[in-house]
């Protein structure tokens, strides 16, 4: 096969691969943004998050006025307690990168807002293609004849978060991994 054809095949493969795993940025609350929910709609952020498959590498964009975003642990979320907050933001346009798989908890730091429903749990999955089927649940108990599989232990950074370098990129998928993949493909051609 001539070099041009191999390069074309490699580029096609990388384009398909990168499109499936590109990180995305999600505006919390869509058009409503991050604000105290209207009475009777305390579940607005749970419903919003339930429609989205968050992957490690994605980011959340919180847009708000006269409010704050507080990253807390599970207890802080359920008790609307900012005492042991991991991080607090109050700049009105906060972008938070989801770096690790697991649950991440956010609440408003304004008194009364969290209790009214301005809180969010995000369940972050490892990086998977967006169109991959959800993993099937594991069996309730392993069969007595086979021992449970050994799983590697993985260190997860606290809260699984970091700030991306450019918070003005709302709604733009990240392509940071694509140049490295292209370089890798070119090396193997």
Tell the residue number behind the tokens 């847009």, with chain if given: 63
Residues 71 and 158 in one domain: yes
User: Do residues 52 and 125 touch, judged by C-beta distance below 8 A?
Assistant: no
What secondary structure does DSSP assign to 34-73, as a single string?
S-PPPTT-TTHHHHHHHT--EETT-EEEEE-SS--EEEE-
User: What sign does the dihedral 77-71-28-103 (CA atoms) show?
Assistant: negative
Task: Tell whether the model's pLDDT for residue 48 goes beyond 70.
Answer: yes
Q: How far is CA 89 from the centre of its chain?
A: 17
Q: Residue 63 belongs to what domain range? A: 23-128+153-173
Residues 11 and 39 in one domain: no
**d(C-alpha 125, C-alpha 55), whole Å:** 5
- Bridge partners (DSSP) of residue 87 are 71
The answer to whether position 62 is within a domain reads yes
Task: Check residue 121 and give its pLDDT.
Answer: 98
For 76-116, write each residue's pLDDT tens digit: 999 999 999 999 999 999 999 999 999 999 999 999 999 99
Which of 19-33, 106-120, 131-145 is least confident? 131-145
Task: Tell whether the model's pLDDT for residue 56 goes beyond 50.
Answer: yes
Tokens representing 41 are 């709609």
Neighbours of 15 (CB within 10 A): 13
Task: Check residue 66 and give its pLDDT.
Answer: 96
Task: Tell whether the model's pLDDT for residue 144 goes beyond 60.
Answer: no
Task: Check residue 1 and give its pLDDT.
Answer: 52
Task: Please give the tally of structural domains in the chain.
Answer: 2
Task: Check residue 22 and give its pLDDT.
Answer: 76
Helix pair 3-21, 178-188: axis angle to 10 deg: 150
The answer to whether position 146 is within a domain reads no
Residues 189 and 108 in one domain: no
**d(C-alpha 102, C-alpha 96), whole Å:** 15
Which among 141, 130, 136, 143 has a CA at the least distance from the CA of 58? Answer: 130
The answer to whether position 96 is within a domain reads yes
Residues 103 and 33 in one domain: yes
Residues 37 and 117 in one domain: yes
User: Do residues 173 and 23 touch, judged by C-beta distance below 8 A?
Assistant: yes
- Entry pTM: 0.61
């Amino acid at each position: 096969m001539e070099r041009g054809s191999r390069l074309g095949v490699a580029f096609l493969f990388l384009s398909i691969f990168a499109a499936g795993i590109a990180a995305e940025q999600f505006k919390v609350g869509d058009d409503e943004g991050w604000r105290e929910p209207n009475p009777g709609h305390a579940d607005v952020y749970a419903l919003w998050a339930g429609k989205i498959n968050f992957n490690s590498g994605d980011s959340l964009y919180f847009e708000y006025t006269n409010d704050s975003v507080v990253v807390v642990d599970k207890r802080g979320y359920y008790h609307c307690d900012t005492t042991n907050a991991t991080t607090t933001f109050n700049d009105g346009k906060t972008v938070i990168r989801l770096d690790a798989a697991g649950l991440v908890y956010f609440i408003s730091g304004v008194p009364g807002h969290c209790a009214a429903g301005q809180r969010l749990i995000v369940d972050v999955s490892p990086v998977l293609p967006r169109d991959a089927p959800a993993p099937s649940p594991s069996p309730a108990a392993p069969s007595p004849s086979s021992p449970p599989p050994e799983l590697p232990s993985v260190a997860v950074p606290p809260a699984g978060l970091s700030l991306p370098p450019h918070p003005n990129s709302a709604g733009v998928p990240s392509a940071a991994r694509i140049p490295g993949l292209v370089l890798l493909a070119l090396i193997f051609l």
